[in-house]
Amino acid sequence: MNWNPWKKIRKLEEQVKIFSDISILECDKARYLESYTEILCRRDIKRINALQKIADEEKPTSNATVRRMAAIARVALDQ
C-alpha cells in the first residue's frame, strides 16, 4: 500500500475546513437564538406592561365591564 503524505494532508485540510464551517454555523445559530430570545423577552415585557395598564384602569367607580377586564388582566399577569 502506497502511503502518500500529501494526500493525507489534503484530506485533513478538508476535514478542518468542514469542521470550521460547522463551528461558524453553530456560532451563527447561537447568535440568532440569542437575538430571537431577546425579541421574545421584549414582546413579553410589552404584553406585561399592557396587561398591567388594563388592570390599573379599575377604579372604585368603574362599571362591570371594566372590572371584568381588569380581573382578566390580573389573572393573565399571575400566570
Q: By the 8 A CB rule, do 66 and 57 touch?
A: yes
For residue 47, the tally of other CB atoms under 10 A from its CB is: 12
Rounded Cα distance between 71 and 58, Å, is: 9
**Greater model confidence, 45 or 79:** 45
Q: pLDDT grade, residue 10 (50/70/90)? A: confident
* pLDDT tens column, 17-71: 777 777 777 777 877 888 878 888 888 888 888 889 889 988 999 899 999 989 9
Grid cell of 18 as nine digits? 468542514
pTM: 0.55
Q: By the 8 A CB rule, do 72 and 57 touch?
A: no
pLDDT of residue 1: 52
CA torsion sign, 15 to 21 to 24 to 29?
negative
Q: Where are the domains of the chain?
A: 5-78
pLDDT of residue 17: 78
pLDDT of residue 79: 67
